[in-house]
Amino acid sequence: MSVQTWTYLLVGITFALYIGIAIWSRVASTREFYVAGGGVHPVMNGMATAADWMSAASFISMAGIISFAGYDGSVYLMGWTGGYVLLALLLAPYLRKFGKFTVPDFVGDRYYSDIARLVAVICAIFVSFTYVAGQMRGVGIVFSRFLEVDITTGVIIGMAIVFFYAVLGGMKGITYTQVAQYCVLIFAFMVPAIFISMLMTGQVIPQIGFGSQLADGSGMYLLDKLDGLSTELGFAPYTDGSKSTIDVFCITLALMVGTAGLPHVIVRFFTVPKVRDARRSAGWALLFIALLYTTAPAVASFARVNMIQTINGPDMQGTEYATAPTWIANWEKTGLIKWEDKNNDGRMFYAKDDRNEMTIDRDIMVLANPEIARLPAWVIALVAAGGLAAALSTAAGLLLVISAAISHDLLKKVVMPDITEKQELMYARIAAALAIVVAGLLGIYPPGFVAEVVAFAFGLAAASFFPAIVLGIFDKRTNMQGAVTGMLVGLVFTVGYIVWFKGVFMAPMAENIPANWLFGISPEGIGVVGMLLNFAVTIVISRMTPPPPQHVQDLVDEIRVPRGAGEASAH
């Protein structure tokens, strides 16, 4: 069968599975819609959390950015993985003990203010929409190549699928759908990685193949080969970094604390029965995540070597375009690969300097990797199904956060406190539907490539939520005035910096020139400065204004007691 036939078959089977789970797990209460009834097993929740967290950025774009950036791309690997350790040890058990539905719920009650709750709602919606843009773009890329539709049509199809199981099943439907999606995405990522590792290095385990000699009889190690190819083509050595130390530190830290502050990840720990289960869930999730994350550098390196040798030929003199492999023509149709014959010799050539004739979108590397390596059609289609699973799982979690922020934290808690549970559930579904439409528009008109957009979301979470949550748990003296001001300062500063250097109002002097960055920190890492500003403003203002009420201070003491659980509550 052809790749397209296999794709229709495998994607159709997985979509039918997701929809079937949504019908089976449809909800009738807000507690099931928001936190899946609070009865999810830690292992299942770990798998769902891993799928929720391993988005299109992890599956599609992370290996792509490592493939293009080499050593510099490792900041994404370190930051996103390290963030999960931080989340498991510092936040998850305490937030689960608090027992609310959402992060704005925690902020609103801890800082005894509807204003604080409203600011948290704005932050949650802002961060979630920034993040979901990358997911819907990933969906569009997969559909555009493998189902041969344009990216806009692909995004619309993805919107329809997410609408069905997110609106119908809420967190309960999303949780069990994400368990299935994790199984699909990890299988889809590992199978081609194992195949290619065996072909290139003779090693079954990709992580070992990453540090092994090539199987071509040259006796050369994979990374040495990459360094040689990179320097020959005008790139920096693959294993050397070009970013400054402070920028690497800030991007890694922003991704770490952003992970711990992302609302769609935190809410997953409200779905387990006990506080102990929240910590166990984080541990299981880290194990499931590690399977993909330790494989990604190997996939990136395999893809880079194969791509260069395919385009430039074994003699590095270029490949005749007329006889080029079919994967190049297939991806050209999507607009994500472009060839310009600068010297009119009919040959393709890929390099960094003036010799370059190829424009290649880094987001295609994982998806194109099986085609480049000439693996069977069913493996190529499997990767497409995995990419969709990764993007849709995270998109669903984010859309539920947006839905809960609007229906529960804004309408129920602030605007219309007297609405019934049935009405709240209706508003939650309406909010989810509207959020899907906005997410689709962001996917069609994205503000950057997938990993970059997601990095911005992590920076925004670091600058807004993280200080409020940490101080809310560990500092009884932090009050409403300090927390609200700190969140606003952190968010406004970080958004302003990103918009200045990356957005529509980009100044000519600011365009990707590190010399103009504050302290040499890129927009991807500026969330750390926003976080520090948030911490400083919150602490100073809290000390200059009256302390929180005694019942709030008692609540903080109760949260930190590492025993007892209780059930998630809407009260």
Encode pLDDT of 42-61 as tens digits: 888 888 888 877 777 778 77
Residue 420: pLDDT over 70: yes
Could you give the CA distance from residue 490 to residue 531 in angstroms, rounded to a whole number?
6
463-498: pLDDT as tens digits: 888 898 889 988 999 999 999 999 889 988 988 888
Encoded tokens for 298: 């190997």
Q: Are 259 and 527 in contact (CB under 8 A)?
A: no
pLDDT the model gives residue 486 = 93
377-404 vs 151-201: helix axis angle to the nearest 10?
A: 130
pLDDT the model gives residue 568 = 42
Structure-token match 């990933």, residue found: 138
296-312 vs 151-201: helix axis angle to the nearest 10?
A: 90
105-133: pLDDT as tens digits: 788 888 988 888 888 787 777 777 777 77
pTM attached to this predicted model? 0.77
385-400: pLDDT as tens digits: 888 777 777 777 777 7
Q: Is the dihedral of CA 330, 333, 339, 341 positive or negative?
A: positive
DSSP code of residue 236: P
Determine the average pLDDT of the residues in 543-552.
92
pLDDT the model gives residue 564 = 44
| Amino acid symbol at 64 | G
Domains of the chain: 3-303+375-560 (1.20.1730.10)
DSSP code of residue 428: H
pLDDT the model gives residue 466 = 86
pLDDT the model gives residue 99 = 67
Could you give the CA distance from residue 15 to residue 11 in angstroms, rounded to a whole number?
6
Encoded tokens for 184: 């699909």
Q: Which of 530, 521, 549, 562 is nearest to 245 (CA)?
A: 521
Q: Give the model's confidence band at 30: pLDDT under 50 very low, under 70 low, under 90 confident, else very high.
A: low
Could you give the CA distance from residue 421 to residue 33 in angstroms, rounded to a whole number?
11
pLDDT the model gives residue 510 = 47
Q: Which of 468, 531, 464, 459 is nearest to 499 (CA)?
A: 459
Beta bridge partners of 337: 360
Encoded tokens for 99: 């027992």
- Go through the chain and tell me how many residues it has: 571
Determine the average pLDDT of the residues in 387-415.
76
Q: Which residue has the higher pLDDT, 265 or 462?
A: 462
453-463: pLDDT as tens digits: 666 777 888 88
Q: Is the dihedral of CA 9, 11, 16, 17 positive or negative?
A: positive
| Amino acid symbol at 342 | K
236-249: pLDDT as tens digits: 888 887 788 888 89
181-234: pLDDT as tens digits: 888 888 888 999 998 999 999 999 999 999 899 888 888 999 999 999 888 888
Q: Give the model's confidence band at 566: pLDDT under 50 very low, under 70 low, under 90 confident, else very high.
A: very low
Could you give the CA distance from residue 511 to residue 513 in angstroms, rounded to a whole number?
5
Encoded tokens for 462: 């670091």
pLDDT the model gives residue 509 = 44
CA angle 348/351/352 to nearest 5° reads: 145
Could you give the CA distance from residue 134 to residue 450 in angstroms, rounded to a whole number?
5
Residue 541: pLDDT over 90: yes
Burial 362-372 (b: 16+ CB within 10 A, else e): bbbbbbbbbbb
Q: Which of 25, 27, 30 is nearest to 423 (CA)?
A: 30
Beta strands in 82-187 (DSSP E): none
Q: Are 427 and 419 in contact (CB under 8 A)?
A: yes
Mean pLDDT over each residue of the chain, to the nearest integer: 80
Determine the average pLDDT of the residues in 351-379.
84
What are the DSSP calls for 7-18, one per residue? HHHHHHHHHHHH
149-183: pLDDT as tens digits: 777 888 888 788 777 766 665 666 677 777 888 88
Beta bridge partners of 176: none
Non-local CB neighbours of 122 within 8 Å, separated by 6+ positions: 491
Residue 349: pLDDT over 60: yes
Q: Which of 460, 118, 104, 406 is nearest to 267 (CA)?
A: 104
Could you give the CA distance from residue 450 to residue 58 in angstroms, rounded to a whole number?
9
Q: Give the model's confidence band at 25: pLDDT under 50 very low, under 70 low, under 90 confident, else very high.
A: low
Q: Give the model's confidence band at 507: pLDDT under 50 very low, under 70 low, under 90 confident, else very high.
A: very low
Could you give the CA distance from residue 279 to residue 272 in angstroms, rounded to a whole number?
10
pLDDT the model gives residue 514 = 65
Backbone angles phi and psi of 357, in degrees to 5:
-125, 0
Q: Give the model's confidence band at 28: pLDDT under 50 very low, under 70 low, under 90 confident, else very high.
A: low
pLDDT the model gives residue 455 = 67
Q: Are 124 and 461 in contact (CB under 8 A)?
A: no
Measured distance between the N- and C-terminal CA atoms of the chain, rounded to whole angstroms: 55
Could you give the CA distance from residue 470 to residue 488 in angstroms, rounded to a whole number?
16
* Residue 356: CA count within 13 A, CB half-sphere: 15
Q: Are 152 and 440 in contact (CB under 8 A)?
A: no
Of the chain, the percentage scoring pLDDT greater than 70 comes to: 87
Of the chain, the percentage scoring pLDDT greater than 90 comes to: 12
Continuous segment of H or E residues that includes residue 286:
helix 275-293
Q: Are 516 and 149 in contact (CB under 8 A)?
A: no
